[in-house]
Amino acid sequence: MSGTWITTRAWLLMLPLLIVMVAVIGWPLADTVQLSFTDAKLVGTSGSYVGFDNYLRLVSGNAFGRTLFTTTFFAVVVVTTEMVFGVLAALLLNQQFYGRTLLRALLILPWALPTVVNATLWRLIYNPEYGALNAALTQIGILDAYRSWLGEPGTALTALIVADCWKNFPLVAMIALAALQAVPRDVIAASYVDGASAFSRFRFVTLPYLAGPLMVALVLRTIEAFKVFDIIWVMTRGGPANSTRTMSILVYQEAFSFQRAGSGASHGARRRLRHRCKESCRERHLMERQSPLFRLFLHVAALLLAAVILAPLVWLFVMSISPAADLAAKPLKWWPATMDFSRYTVLLSTTENSAGAAFIASLRNSLMVAGMATLAAIALAVPAGWAVSRTPSVGWSLSVVIATYMLPPVALAVPLYMALSNFGLLNSVFGLALVYLTILAPFTTWLMKSGFDGIPREIEQAAVIDGASLWQTLRIITLPLAMPVVATSALFAFLLGWDEFFYALLFTSDQRAKTLTVAIADLAGGRVSDYGLIATAGVLAALPPVIVGLVMQRALISGLTSGGVKG
Amino acid sequence: MNRFFGRTLLSATLLTAPLSVPAFAETQINALFMAQAAYSEADVRAMTEAFTKANPDIKVNLEFVPYEGLHDKTVLAQGAGNAYDVVLFDVIWPAEFAANNVLVDISSKITADMKSGVLPGAWTTVKYDSKFYGMPWILDTKYLYYNKEILSKAGIANPPKTWEELAADAKIIKDKGILATPIAWSWAQAEAAICDYTTLVSAFGGDFLKDGKPAFQTGGGLDALKYMVDTYKSGVTNPNSKEFLEEDVRKVFENGDAAFALNWTYMYNMANDPKDSKVAGKVGVVPAPGVAGKSEASAVNGSMGLGVTTASKHQDEAWKYIVYMTSQQTQNAYAKLSLPIWASSYADPAVTKGQEELIAAAKVGLAAMYPRPTTPKYQEISVALQQAIQEALLGQSSPEDALKTAADNSGL
């Protein structure tokens, strides 16, 4: 096969992704630039919701330096913590222990909570008068008196960081876990034979396989951490005295150059290992023996992880069934005297025109929008990801596509609104799904690319030599091997779509298209809100992603088909 | 600005907008409302139905969005050319909407009856640069709530009439050991803090702006912040106020942990509901106090108005609808949810029945409503002031320095 044909083929495989991106994002972006010349005020005023005005003002104001520091500090600490905890959790979940399947399913829970619910949950936990954290710490005896966690400059940022990490470390863990599934067992077995220590086994065997996918997580989370808005808005609004005020800064270029360096390094290491493994595949079952002490350690660690994930969620559930007075009791009642399920009845009522009907409609809309966007994103990402993985020369186009994620939604909102309006796609689940597709597709493509990077080309070449067509090779050899990554990408895309709020708020107007996050904002909005009802909505909102996650469990761990290598 | 939520919304009828094609030549107008306003969605639909019954040639499409979407949707739709004809807007937006030509100046349509009949404070909701950009519709302000039981326990016969008295009464309650921190405010770095600050500025006779320049750093504006810092430092203010929003204030008050609290109208009925509140039946409400020699009472304007968009092709029909929605008859019929904008309604027994104490406070409070700075740069001033308040409370800078910095950063 000639080089030009391979490049052309790669472009053809990339084409669907590029067409969608240019049609939905590229054109409005050009329009925005033009519009900003003709009627800058209109665009500017539409930005007040996300606090974009604040960002612009900050850049010109004298608080710039301090805010930059706060943002950087927040992003670095959050991302580092999430990466470390995420990888540790993934390593743990890759081991054999009782309840592993359950714990893997639980892992999705924090991530499945819509951001607004997560922020409200933590705001209540940190409440200076009736919060669960104060109650727990005083009852244990660590604190003498209740403290103001979000009201003191010394603790507010840390409190925010904990809340954000709790929600987002599962993303890193899921991606790392999928990558770990792709590490051929032979390679690990080989390292046992070679007598490598646990650390060097991680450093030289596992980490190179993790590097690519983790870089996707790293870049995504870094961008999101720098763009962070919702959680801070709900919890502190930048207070006290601006100590938690952050801003969104475009740092993707640094992130990208870092990414290239990282993936370059991992390539070399992987090649060396593959060579070694061929000699010692027979020893693979060696690693399946665990010492009793190690097994004990695993189970303790698993319990700890489960506790970290579950404690806030259990509290969310308790709040959803507690009368409001119980939640304001001192000392705090950890379990209501009488369980009150009325909020569930309210939200799940199917009576026509009731709040329940509206909530259920929004659940259905969210499932449809996130589901359709996810399916389409995977359909675009598989060929495009494969093309970029096997033909690195077209990779720059993916970088450009991913860079669009840095664009604040507010920059695109006006032209997108007009375009959707022209095509009659406002207040439509299809229109919203199309917009979401442009958010989901870039990262799923990148994730798929890293996944394909981990699958040796030699396997595909062997199949081609055996006479298989490209399509057959992909279908029979590559895709089954990439299943864990496909499943993770799909889950990741689904949850990203599930949590989206800004576009949904602007582009929907009634039950025909309103999504869950907007419905929750309907419940939570303004000065008056029943926290118990938000908690109930949060519990219900977390259920569908968890079910999706459970269904995908098989796919997430099914990729262990190392027998396909002709060695 | 008040956004009622609770059982009202839950039982609300959430109909989708009617889609039927008109059978005969009729005008269709689109109206944008808020999902959790003082009037529930069901009530707005009922009012609208009564309007269309009286005007069969006009059809009204209703859309409800959360408060967060109200501003952006108005502006977006304006740009896309399929605008709403009638929009609900917050008291802090008219300046910006006027500057960007979003709302129609309807000054010429305001009749003499309207001018004299509607409370003067209510008009500040829709006025900018002495032009009218709509009709006030939802009236709201912050009142001083007090716990009757705690006051009588402390031997305080009457609720305070001035802010000085309030601080002194709180000191008595604190010294007698009844409550460690008797006053609850919403001083989080948020718009809520500006609403409390504005109340105090109006009491101390301060000005936000003079001739378009910041004036809050001296006189009444400075006194207001000094008062906040003094009560914070002397411990009569709950120190957690600096992270409270209105809902936190309500919780503390309903739990009996505050003797005094500044909050919107909505707290009255909620704090009197024995289901969620421990202080039901002990809730007292009076207008926010004044300052000796300067004011009798104080109040912030937290209202919302209805306006006609410049992009509307049916401005006359849109105005007709607004007139109906804001009419005394309509407002009196729904007075349990939101108090009318009409002065004479407050003497109508049908309106006052069952909420006499609140009505008495409202009579004074609503008439005293003081606007937050009316400028297209409102957001910048608000953010700068929020920061100044927090820095002064935390002792990071003196009230003088904090307000001076805010004035420098206000963009004016």
Domain span(s) for CATH 1.10.3720.10 in chain A: 1-47+344-529, 62-331
Whole-number pLDDT of residue A183: 75
Distance from A20 to chain B by nearest Cα, in Å?
A: 22
The predicted model gives A371-378 an average pLDDT of 96
Architecture of domain A62-331: Orthogonal Bundle (1.10)
User: So what's the pLDDT on residue A475?
Assistant: 85
Condensed to tens digits (0 to 9), the pLDDT of residues B109-135 reads 999 999 999 988 889 899 998 899 999
User: Is B2 a member of any domain?
Assistant: no
Q: How far is B37 from chain A (nearest CA, A)?
A: 9
Report the domain count for chain B.
2
Per DSSP, the three-state class of B135 is: strand
DSSP letters spanning B308-352: EBTT-S-HHHHHHHHHHHTSHHHHHHTTTTS--SBGGGGG-HHHH
Q: Is B1 within the bounds of a domain?
A: no
Minimal CA separation from A164 to chain B, in Å: 19
- What are B62's strand-pairing partners? B31
Integer angstrom CA distances of residue B404 from B291, B377, B384: 23, 17, 10
Provide the mean pLDDT of chain A.
Answer: 78
Contact (CB<8Å) A236/B243: yes
> Among residues A404, A446, A438, A399, which one has the least CA distance to residue A419?
A438
Shortest CB distance from B278 goes to which of A241, A325, A357? Answer: A325
Distance from the B266 Cα atom to the nearest Cα atom in chain A, whole angstroms:
8
Give the residue from B409, B293, B412, B302 showing the smallest Cα distance to B366: B302
Which residue of chain A has the CA closest to B241? A151
Please tell me the predicted confidence (pLDDT) of residue A280.
Answer: 38
Residue range(s) defining the domain that contains residue B128: 7-139+303-356
Helix axes A207-226, A153-182, angle to 10 degrees: 140
- CATH number corresponding to A1-47+344-529: 1.10.3720.10
CB contact under 8 A, A129 and B251: yes
Among B8, B10, B278, the residue to mutate for chain A (most A Cβ within 10 A): B10
Q: Determine what percent of chain A is predicted with pLDDT higher than 70.
A: 80
**In one letter, which amino acid is B242?**
K
Confidence band, pLDDT 50/70/90 cuts, at residue A510: confident
For B264, list phi and psi in degrees, rounded to 5: -75, 175
ipTM of model over 0.90 = no
Which of residues A379 and A521 earns the better pLDDT score?
A379
Cβ contact (<8 Å) for A62 and B409? yes
Please tell me whether residues B195 and B258 are part of one structural domain.
Answer: yes
Residues B194, B264 within the same domain: yes
Q: Which of A332, A496, A494, A414 is nearest to A40 (CA)?
A: A414
Output the pLDDT for position A213. 82
pLDDT digits (tens, 9 = 90+) for B342-372: 999 998 988 888 788 999 999 899 988 999 9
A–B CB contacts, 8 A cutoff, strictly below: 192
pLDDT in the model for residue B293: 93
Nearest CB neighbour to A355, from listed B9, B80, B189: B9
What tokens were used for A423? 């095509």
Is the pLDDT assigned to residue A554 strictly greater than 80? Answer: no
Distances (CA, A) of B352 to A57, A391, B283, B365: 46, 77, 17, 15
Q: What is the token pair recorded at B228?
A: 């906040």
Q: Which residues of A touch B251 (CB under 8 A)?
A: 129-130, 328
Q: Of the given ranges (A84-93, A455-464, B84-93, B173-182), which has the lowest mean pLDDT?
A: A455-464
Q: Which residue has the higher pLDDT, A328 or A393?
A: A393
Which distant-in-sequence residues (6+ apart) come within 8 Å of B62 by Cβ? B17, B31, B33, B44, B45, B48
Same domain, residue pair B183 and B195:
yes
The reported pLDDT for the residue numbered B329 is 94
Does B196 share its domain with B92?
Answer: no
- The alpha carbon of residue A476 and the mean position of all alpha carbons in its chain are separated, in whole angstroms, by 29
Strand partners, B132: B127
In this predicted structure, the answer to whether residue A278 has a pLDDT above a threshold of 50 is no
Give alpha helix (H) positions in B177-302: 191-203, 219-233, 246-254, 267-271
The three-state secondary structure class of A307 is: helix
Contact B190 A42 (CB under 8 A): no
Residue A129, pLDDT score: 87
Regarding predicted confidence, which is higher, A284 or A214? A214
The residue among B4, B88, B240, B243 with the most chain A CBs within 10 A of its CB, best to mutate, is B243
**What are the tokens at A541?**
């909102």
Averaged pLDDT score across all residues of chain B: 88
pLDDT of A417 higher than 70: yes
pLDDT at residue A255 greater than cutoff 70: no
Q: What is the pLDDT of residue B3?
A: 38
CA distance A258 to chain B (A): 36
Question: Would the CB atoms of B17 and A509 count as touching at under 8 Å?
Answer: yes
Q: Do A357 and B14 touch (CB under 8 A)?
A: yes
Q: Do B76 and A355 touch (CB under 8 A)?
A: no
With bands split at pLDDT 50, 70 and 90, how would you rate the model's confidence at A555? Answer: low
Position B144 confidence tier, pLDDT thresholds 50, 70, 90: very high
pLDDT at A40 over 50: no
Query: Which among B16, B379, B387 is the nearest to A511, CB-wise?
Result: B16
Bridge partners of B29? B60
Indicate which CATH number applies to the domain containing B201.
3.40.190.10
pLDDT above 80 for A232: no
Distance (Å, rounded) from C-alpha A397 to C-alpha A445?
Answer: 11
Q: What is the mean pLDDT of residues A399-409?
A: 79
Does B70 map to a domain?
yes
Answer yes or no: do A527 and B247 touch at CB < 8 A: yes
A175, A217 contact by CB (below 8 A): yes
Q: Is the pLDDT of residue A58 over 90?
A: no
* Lookup: tokens for B270: 């909620």
Residue whose tokens read 């009709």: B135
Contact A506 B264 (CB under 8 A): no
Contact A240 B240 (CB under 8 A): no
Greater confidence (A398 vs B398) lies with B398
Q: How far is B10 from chain A (nearest CA, A)?
A: 5
Q: How does pLDDT run across A467-484, given as a tens digit for each residue?
A: 888 888 888 888 888 888
User: B288 and B189, same structural domain?
Assistant: yes
The pLDDT of A178-203, averaged and rounded, is 76
Q: Are B225 and B245 part of one and the same domain?
A: yes
How far away is chain A from the Cα of B80, in angstroms, using its nearest Cα?
Answer: 5
B383 and B293 housed in the same domain: yes
Residue in B67, B75, B249 to test binding to A, most A beta-carbons within 10 Å: B75
CB pair distance less than 8 Å for A506 and B76 = yes
Give whole-number Cα distances, A230 to A262, B198, B411, in Å: 31, 27, 26
The yes-or-no verdict on residue A180 having pLDDT over 70 is yes
pLDDT in the model for residue A2: 65
Q: Calculate the CA dihedral of residues B376, B382, B388, B394 and round it to 10 degrees.
A: -170
For the purposes of burial, counting CB atoms within 10 Å of the CB of A60, is it exposed (0-12), middle (13-18) or buried (19 or more)? exposed
A76-95: average pLDDT: 93
Q: Give A518-558 as a DSSP string.
A: HHHHHHH-SS---HHHHHHHHHHHHHHHHHHHHHHHHHHHT
For testing the chain A interface, which of B4, B5, B264 should be mutated: the one with the most A CBs within 10 Å?
B5
Burial A550-563 (b: 16+ CB within 10 A, else e): eebeebbbebeebe
Domain assignment present for B361: no
Residues B45 and B123 both lie in one domain: yes
For residue A527, give the nearest of B9, B246, B278 by CB distance.
B246
Whether residue B163 contacts residue B261, with contact meaning beta carbons closer than 8 Å, is answered with: no
User: Are the Cβ atoms of A325 and B390 closer than 8 angstroms?
Assistant: no
Looking at the partner chain, which of B78, B190, B247 has a beta carbon nearest the beta carbon of A529? Answer: B247
Chain A positions touching B9 (Cβ under 8 A) are: 355, 522-523
> What was the pLDDT predicted at A458?
84
Residues of chain A contacting B89 with CB distance shorter than 8 Å: none
pLDDT band (50, 70, 90) for residue B281: very high
Say if residue B191 is in the same domain as residue B55. no
Structure-model confidence comparison of residues A459 and B237, the more confident one: B237
Same domain flag for B296 and B382:
yes
For residue A126, pLDDT over 80 is answered with yes
Chain A residues touching B66 at Cβ < 8 A: 505, 518, 521-522, 525-526
Q: Judge contact between A543 and A320, C-beta under 8 A.
A: no
User: For residue A16, is the peptide bond before it cis, meaning its omega torsion is within 30 degrees of 0?
Assistant: no
Residue type present at position B382: S
Distance (Å, rounded) from C-alpha A343 to C-alpha A356? Answer: 10
Cβ–Cβ of A528/B5 closer than 8 Å? yes
> CB under 8 Å to B172, separation ≥6 — which residues?
B154, B155, B156
Q: Identify all chain B residues contacting A46, using CB atoms and an 8 Å cutoff.
A: 72, 75-76, 79
pLDDT bucket at A45, cuts 50 / 70 / 90 = very low
**Highest mean pLDDT pick, A103-117, A260-274, A339-353, B109-123:** B109-123
Together in a domain, B313 and B392: no
A104 near A553, Cβ under 8 Å? yes
Backbone angles phi, psi at B305, to 5 degrees: -125, 170
Tokens 């450093």 belong to residue: A203
Which 3 state secondary structure label does DSSP give B128? strand
Chain B nearest CA to A558, separation (Å): 44
B14–A49: do the CB atoms touch at under 8 Å? no
Shortest distance between the Cα of A436 and any Cα of chain B, in A, equals: 19
Please report which confidence band the pLDDT of residue A190 belongs to, taking 50, 70 and 90 as the band edges: confident
Q: What is the 3-state secondary structure (H, E, C) of A129-170?
A: CCCHHHHHHHHHCCCCCCCCCCCCHHHHHHHHHHHHHHHHHH
Chain B contact probe: residue of A36, A45, A247 with most B CBs at under 10 A: A45
Q: Give pLDDT, residue A51.
A: 37
Give yes or no for residue B33 having a pLDDT over 60. Answer: yes
Reported as a single tens digit per residue, the pLDDT across B166-206 is 999 999 999 999 999 999 999 998 888 999 999 999 999 99
Residues B195 and B154 in one domain: yes
Q: Is the pLDDT of residue A42 over 60?
A: no
- Of the residues A527, A529, A531, A533, the best mutation for testing chain B's interface (the one with the most B CB atoms within 10 Å of its CB) is A527
User: Where does the pLDDT of residue A35 fall: very low under 50, low under 70, confident under 90, or very high at 90 and above?
Assistant: low
Q: Does residue B323 fall inside a structural domain? A: yes
Q: What is the pLDDT of residue A53?
A: 43
What is the phi/psi pair of residue B261, to 5°?
-155, 140
pLDDT of residue A24: 85
The confidence band for A395, taking pLDDT boundaries of 50, 70 and 90, is confident
For the stretch B205-259, pLDDT in tens is 999 999 889 999 999 999 999 999 999 999 999 999 999 988 889 989 999 999 9
Confidence at A63, pLDDT banded by 50, 70, 90: low
- Has residue B367 been placed in a domain? no
List chain B residues with CB under 8 Å of A45.
71, 75, 96, 100
Rounded Cα distance between B207 and B358, Å, is 28
Q: Taking 90 as the threshold, does the pLDDT of residue B16 lie above it? A: no
Q: What are the backbone angles phi and psi of residue A548, rounded to the nearest 5°?
A: -55, -45
Q: A86 falls in which pLDDT band (50, 70, 90)? A: very high
